[in-house]
Structure 1
Amino acid sequence: MPPATPAPAATPRKYYFFYGHRKPSQNRPVVRGGFFSNRKTLPPSSAPAPAPAPAPALAPAPVPVDFRDWDPDYPSSAAAAPPPSLAATDRRLSPLARYILDSLRRHRCWCPPIISDLRKLRRVPPDLVAEVLRARPLLDPAISTRFFHWAGSQKGFRHTFASYNALAYALNAARLFRVADQIPELMDSQGKAPSEKQLEILVRLHADAGRGLRVFHIYQKMRGKFGVKPRIFLYNRILDALIRTGHLDLALSVYDDVRADGLKEEAITFTILAKGLCRAARIDQLLEILDRMRQELCRPDVFAYTAMVKVLALEGNLDGCLRVWEEMKKDRVEADVMAYKTLVSGLCKAGKVEKARELFREMKRKGFLIDQAVYGSLVDGYVTEGKVGDGCQLLKEMVVDGYRADLGIYNSLIEGLCGIGRVDKAYKLFRMAVQEGLVPGFESVTPLLASYADGNEMDQYFQLVDQLGKLGFPVMDHLSNFFTFFVEKGGREFKGLEVFEALKGKGFCSVEIYNILIACLHKIKERKRALSLFEEMKNSRDFSPDSCTYSHIIPCLVEEGDVREACSCFNSMKEMSWMPSVAAYCSLVEGLCRIGEINAALTLVKDCLGNVTSGPMEFKYTLTVLNTCRSKNPEKVIEILDEMMEEGYPLEDIVYCAIIHGFCKYASSGEARKVFAVMRDRKILSEANFIVYEELLNEHLKKITAGLVISGLKFFGLESKLKLTSNED
């Protein structure tokens, strides 16, 4: 038996990053197991080397990261914690991208823990950088840019076009579009020449946001600085963005570059320029563009002509519309229904109904299917010109042709018939609309109610109101709209009160109608009647004043001289947590200034600016004046008053009261007198007003002095003696 062959010596295992750790160095960190592993960088060579340690226990092994926790498709065990960042929008991302996003969102700012989490990855490639930057919801732009620059600092790393583009999207979404415009310079500095794709992305982002000047700026920079020459499709986008934002001259200069580059225009190129010239009413240049289009490409089609007619009609340039229409006939282009509809509507709005009627007959001869909007435009045009009879004939012709009128046509004819006094025919049309299943709105009912009220035909008025109730319409809403329409023209306020009294007798009344009548009575300076309606509301059990009522009544009370009662109404509103209107604030502040209650007026100014979204500029300047008085410099206060006058804001009483209060509180009354003297010398303040404000200054100074005396007596405990003395007096 042959002797046993000795076993070969065990080959020493070669450790490297896939199977295990390897010997560390300054540029080669320790790597422990797997594709994704923790790593630790050694200190630089200048630092003292650490004490040698046994090979098996070189360093405590970091806790490994299981990236399957960030994989929603991996069935984790029941004991395992759920993925830290697994929003619905993140499910399409890779596990590594979710891991990075979780760290960035958790810490919310760039800090060492984020860098520690990122170093647990062996490497962050450019595609992963782009995936993280494109994630939704977006990261904070400060974190996005720091992450982008950190990724670029990896050894041997170079950003790709995808990562640059993702950074541009992220910055634009954060409204840092000026920073996004600097990305081409960043690419160039990192050895990546910007291409047409970067220009396209920036142009699209600026165009979608309506930033035409930024489009032109980035186009000029990419063309002049980096030599990028766009193709025709991108030129079309640049031209469209400039024209949409109203920069036609810049668009024409870009078009010159198109021709200088030797590119061949497309049909859409000429259409974009033609629409811009139509919007700017440059008809001669428009015709030149059309000639060039015919010579170099093709004749404009019906869609191009329809677009031009529509733009000109919207701009109200009917002469240009007709010239373009003639050009279309010269090119033997058959207009379609949309072109006819656009031109007919534009002519009717411009008052050229007869010309529109000719085109309408031409449509019928050609056998076009006429839209209801064409009939509606013609009816509106006839009613506007006072030819209501022709509008009614057109309605009959429409019914004979087999069309059914819509509610807009009925409303136009009802309003026109009521305007010429034919209320009986208007009521017949109203009944026809109801019989056809249409639901008449305010435009249908209000002219009828107003005509019955003007003609004192109250029986027909209440008959129509009862009919509205039977049909299930909101009667009180219709009546409120009627009073708004009835008193709007002026001169019919007292008639409106008579109708209101009659309606109250029938049980038709609401707080909204009270508010409408109080507002119109205050407008015509019938404040006594407005206050009587207010008292009637307060004494009623069914209709209590609301915030709108108090906002209308406060100016009435102030103008009547009853500022105390106006303040009481204001306090009632505050108790009910209601917010007065700006007009009520202004009126009450003016009244308080007039009776010398400067402290209360300034309190109201602050309350208004603190509660109202857009407060009066006079109130804002008042607080500015008050704050400037701290400097004890009358010249600075005069500068603010000059600024107010330059901006067109009047110097109200509250501004002068702020000067009085500010200088009395922070300086002395002499500075306030200096300001008033300068205003008087400039003829801005009359002699009478100068005397009034000087008296206000003296009274306010007395109040401040009395307040200080009383505060001192309270401080020293002498308030009881003050009361005793006042009783003996």
Structure 2
Amino acid sequence: MGGTATNAETSSPSCPSTPRKYYFYYGHRAPSRNHRPVVRGGLFSSLKSLPRRPPSLPPPSSSSFDFRSWDPFPSPSGPPSPSPSQPCLSAADRRLSPLARFVLGVLRRHGRWGVPVVSELSKLRRVPPSLVAEVLRSPRPRLPPSLSTPFFLWASRQRLFRPSFACFNALAHSLHASRLPAAADQVPDLMLALGKPPSEKQLDVLVRLHSRASRPLRALHALRRFRSHFGLRPRVFLYNRVLHALVSAGHLDLALSLHRDLRADGLREDALTFTILAKGLCRAARIDPLLRLLHRMRAELCRPDLFAYTAMLKLLLAAPANTSMDGCLTLWDEMRKDGVEPDVMAYATMISGLCNFGRADKARELFDEMKKKKKFLIDRSVYGALIRGFVAEGKVDDGCSLLREMVDDGYRVDLDIYNSLIGGLCGVGRADNARKLFMIVVKEGLVPNFQTVTPLLASYADGGEMSKFFRLVDRLVELALPVIDHLSDFFTSFVGKSGREFKAVEVFESAKGKGYCSVGIYNILVESLYKIKERKQVLLLFEEMKGSKEFQPDSCTYSLVIPCFVDEGDVREACSCYNSMMQSSWTPSVSAYCSLVKGLCKIGEINAALTLVKDCLGSVTSGPMEFKYTLTILDACRSKKPEKVIQIFDEMIELGYLLEDVVYCAVIHGFCKYASSGEARKVLAVMRDRKLLTDANYIAYEEILNEHLKKMTAGLVISGLKFFGLESKLKWTANPD
């Protein structure tokens, strides 16, 4: 009944302004703040329709801020989206809570702490400690200390805020990640000031952070500070962590001192403590303290096992001290006394160490014990170490017998073993036997390398057996090996021993006649001849290269020849070589620059020398410090004060740099350009009075000063004539001399 009337009235098109009537089961309900429905009237009474709000009006603003609808990156064209998984958020930020995203967005948007940041953060009703820890531990980009520290202090002043240990740990992590370890060390003081005494966990955090960042001294400082200032007794695992950091960084004495602190606290070492200290003592090759430590370890805890002994042996063999081999033998005996039987790894470690220290006979005893008594399967590296040990001691026959034994046991010999035996046979004058081994290498399908070929070539060259020399070279050609590269390596090794330079030139002349030649071999010979001051021979080779069409000089050749020309006094030709390099866009070496600058200074060409100084510093990555000080002196001459230049000289002398010619030439040029020649003479006089400049050099520099002053004056006169258009009236007269 009521339903029919309602339908009739609502379906009438003639009454558009008639208010809409509701079904009886809708009632009059309006949502409240608490989202609880309120029904007005009974079942059929008070059926009044509420006025509908026009859609154009904005919704009423609420006084409370809804963080669920907050967008850290608001769009200027559209309303904010309440969805937390927006495409503009990084994957790390999506894992954060909405409140943490809000705080991070405020801090990152403003970039610095101030009133706007505080006003926006005041929208938070309360700041729980978990929120502070979450913000400080936020992933990258991590908050800088200029934001994280003020935020933490602001949160600590909020009402009902009780900081937790997680907050302080997060602050320490944040400061340490910002490379402020000293500030991270002050977090325990902040804890104490806020009524939260630091515990062992905070020490653990600091020690871990400093250890991972390779700051063992800070870790030690933090541990001792917690012991003295906060009265905390760390447990053994914290001592072990600091000990490991100190030993890894090489601070063994500090580690032993910390070990004494551990015992003073009434703590007992565990196996890890003994192991860390033993490794440190082995690295330093301190055998007596190591043996005392092992004795205490046996008495108080347990005896070391096989793995511990093997690790200590490896560390002792890697130690640079000469007594490490004796310590290895002593440690080997200690291992036998403890009843620990060595395995293959322990035997291999000892044999390799004995061979490296020149005790091949003792290594052979252990090898026989390992093979015949223990019946161990021997690795090929053990054979190789023992053979190299015999060859290094000149016992090539023992090495060859061990090679035959190795082949009889069914091992395949590698190229390194053959190379060591070939080098040893050539060293004792048995090149024919070495040749046979070379043929075995080729027969077995191994590819000969530099160590295989060079000893044979050197032996033939020393004996003058050039026919065998070139027969071996032809064999390399048949094997399709890079012959020129092997010959370059041969000449480099051959001239490495003094007294072989002229022999190398003879071999090169013979090889050049057979077509085995290259620019690299020329450079090797030029460099070796220049070292023994055979400059004439160097210049002959250089002229020979310039006359050749196939082997033209390269940048290395010019860099080697420029100092040779300067030493011969032919600075003009050296400058010609430099110009040739510039035309080819080549960069000279630092030694070539230094030599050419020195030669130009000797003949008084100061302007050209200073130009080369600037070109060198602009072309090479690490120029000479004398060149850098030259530019500093030129800049100091602008002040027209000789005292500043003398201070620069004192600094150079204090740092150990030589006062080269270019430095004095810079003084002459700088004062002649910016002041007068009198200031330059004052500096030279002070250097002479200090006995840093001899009388002969003082006179020479005075002549250079006068000539340079004449050149600068003549240049100014010519420039003035050109400026006034009087150059045509200038008459050049020939020198009557």
Q: TM-score, normalised by structure 2?
A: 0.83
Q: Percent identity?
A: 61
- 1:673 and 1:264 mapped to 2: Cα distance? 75
- 1: distance between equivalents of 2:116 and 2:491? 67
- Contact kept, 8 Å, 2:355 with 2:388, in 1: the verdict is yes
User: Residue type matched to 1:580 in 2?
Assistant: P
Question: Cα 1:368–1:676, aligned 2, differ >3 Å: closer, same or farther?
Answer: same
- The equivalent of 1:721 in structure 2 is 729
SS state at 1:685 partner: coil
Match of 2:427 in 1: 419
Give the aligned partner of residue 353 of structure 1.
360
Q: Hey, what does 1:588 align to over in structure 2?
A: 596
Farther off after superposition, 406-415 or 538-547: 538-547
1:35 partner SS:
helix
Supply the distance in 1 between the matched residues of 2:456 and 2:162 (Cα, whole angstroms). 77
Partner of residue 70, structure 2: 37
- The CA deviation at 1:35 is 1.6
Write the distance in 2 (CA, Å) between the matches of 1:158 and 1:331: 57
Correspondence for 2:405 among 397, 400, 404 = 397
**Which of the numbers 74, 77, 81 marks the counterpart of 1:66?**
81
Could you tell me which residue of structure 2 aligns to residue 572 of structure 1? 580
Say if 1:67 and 1:96, in contact at 8 Å, map to a contact too. Answer: no
What amino acid sits opposite 2:69 in the alignment?
F
- In structure 2, what residue type is equivalent to 1:249? D
10, 28, 32: which one aligns with 1:13: 32
| Higher-Rg member (1/2) | 2
Q: Does residue 225 of structure 1 match 2:229?
A: yes
Query: Contact 2:100 / 2:131 at 8 angstroms: preserved in 1?
Result: no
User: What SS does structure 2 have at the residue aligned with 1:153?
Assistant: helix
Find the aligned partners of 1:683 and 1:614 in 2 and give their Cα distance: 31
Q: How far apart are the structure 2 equivalents of 1:444 and 1:533? A: 30
2:694 alignment partner in structure 1: 686
Q: Deviations over 1:273-295 (max 9, x none)?
A: 11222233332222221111111
| Contact 1:133–1:170, Cα closer than 8 Å, also in 2 | yes
How far 1:492 moved relative to its partner?
1.6
Structure 1 residue 265 and structure 2 residue 265: aligned? no
Tell me, yes or no, if structure 1 residue 340 matches structure 2 residue 347: yes
1:37·1:64 contact (CA, 8 Å) conserved in 2? Answer: no
Give the deviation of 1:605 after TM superposition: 1.9
1:288 match: 292
Secondary structure of 1:65 counterpart = coil
1:35-87 deviations in Å (ceiling 9; x for gaps): 23379xxxxxxxxxxxxxxxxxxxxx99653364854xxxxxxxxxxx3465x
Distance change in 2, residues 1:34/1:695 (3 Å): closer
For structure 1, the 5+ residue unaligned runs are: 25-29, 40-60, 72-82
In the alignment, is residue 210 of structure 1 matched against residue 214 of structure 2? Answer: yes
In the TM superposition, what whole-angstrom CA distance separates every residue of 1:152-193 from its partner, at most 9, and x where no partner exists?
525456665556545545554554434443443444445554
User: Which residue of the other structure, out of 238, 262, 274, is the alignment partner of 2:278?
Assistant: 274
Contact preservation (8 Å) 1:605, 1:619 = yes
Assess if the C-alpha contact under 8 Å between 2:354 and 2:360 holds in 1.
Answer: yes
Mapped partners of 1:432, 1:129: distance in 2:
75
> What displacement does 1:690 show?
1.1
User: Which residue is 2:520 aligned to?
Assistant: 512
Give the Cα separation in 2 of the matches to 1:575 and 1:96. Answer: 67
SS in 2 for 1:488: coil
Cα deviation digits, residues 528-578 of structure 1 (max 9, x gap): 332233333333333333221221121112112222222232233233332
Does structure 1 retain, via aligned residues, the 8 Å contact 2:593–2:616?
yes
Q: How much does 1:203 deviate?
A: 2.8
Q: Deviations over 1:373-432 (max 9, x none)?
A: 222222122111111111111111122222222222111111111111111111222222
Q: Is the 8 A contact 1:68 1:95 kept in 2?
A: no
Matched residues in 1 for 2:515 and 2:167: separation?
A: 72
Alignment of 1:600-619 (within 5 A): 600-619=608-627
Shift of 1:484: 0.5
Change (3 A) 1:270 1:500: same
> Per-residue displacement from partner, 1:622-655 (whole Å, max 9, x unpaired)?
2333333333333343333233333332221111
Structure 2 counterparts to residues 92-241 of structure 1, below 5 A: 93-94=95-96, 109-110=111-112, 115=117, 138-139=141-142, 143=144, 145-147=146-148, 149-150=150-151, 153-154=154-155, 155=158, 161-162=165-166, 164-166=168-170, 168-169=172-173, 171-241=175-245
Tell me the distance in 2 between the aligned counterparts of 1:104 and 1:546: 63
Q: Residues 355 and 389 of structure 2 are in contact (CA less than 8 Å); yes or no, is this contact kept in structure 1?
A: yes
**In structure 2, which of residues 311, 314, 325 is the aligned counterpart of residue 310 of structure 1?**
314
Alignment counterpart, residue 321 of structure 1, candidates 328, 335, 341: 328
Q: Which moved more, 1:221-230 or 1:389-398?
A: 221-230
1:57 is matched with none
1:434 Cα deviation after fit: 2.9
Look up the match of 1:56: none
CA distance change for structure 1 residues 426 and 284 in 2, over 3 Å: closer, same or farther?
Answer: same
Query: Structure 1 residue 628 and structure 2 residue 636: aligned?
Result: yes
Change (3 A) 1:189 1:34: closer
For 1:393 and 1:491, the matched residues in 2 are separated by 34
Measure, in 2, the Cα distance between the counterparts of 1:497 and 1:241.
56
Secondary structure of 1:473's match? coil
* Equivalent residue for 2:303, pick from 273, 289, 299: 299
In the alignment, which residue of structure 2 is the partner of 1:467? 475
Q: 2:609 touches 2:662 (CA, 8 Å); kept in 1?
A: yes
CA drift at 1:100:
7.6
Q: How many residues align?
A: 684
Q: 2 CA distance for matches of 1:559 and 1:394?
A: 54
Bigger drift between 653-662 and 200-209 goes to 200-209
CA offset at residue 119 of structure 1?
6.0
Give how far 1:94 is off.
4.7
Aligned to 1:659: 667
| Superposition deviation, residue 598 in structure 1 | 1.2
* Residues 499 and 183 (structure 1), Cα distance of their counterparts in 2 relative to 1, 3 Å cut: farther
Name the SS of the counterpart of 1:579 in structure 2: coil
* CA contact 1:37–1:65 (8 Å) conserved in 2: yes
Separation in 1, partners of 2:355, 2:62 = 89
Which of 231, 245, 250 is the matching residue for 1:246? 250
Aligned-pair Cα RMSD in Å: 3.8
Aligned to 2:441: 433
Cα distance change on mapping 1:282 and 1:702 into 2, 3 Å: same
Deviation sequence 1:511-539 (CA, Å, 0-9, x none): 22121111112112222332233333333
Whether the 8 Å CA contact 2:93–2:101 is kept in 1: the answer is no
For residues 110 and 547 of structure 1, do their structure 2 counterparts lie closer, same or farther at Cα, with a shift above 3 Å needed? farther
Classify 1:611/1:208 alpha carbon distance in 2 versus 1 (closer, same or farther; 3 Å).
farther
The answer to whether the Cα contact below 8 Å between 1:527 and 1:556 also exists between their aligned partners in 2 is yes
- C-alpha distance in structure 2 between counterparts of 1:202 and 1:472, whole Å: 62
1:561 counterpart SS class:
coil
More divergent stretch after superposition (109-118 vs 634-643): 109-118
| Contact map agreement 2:107 2:113 (CA 8 A) in 1 | no
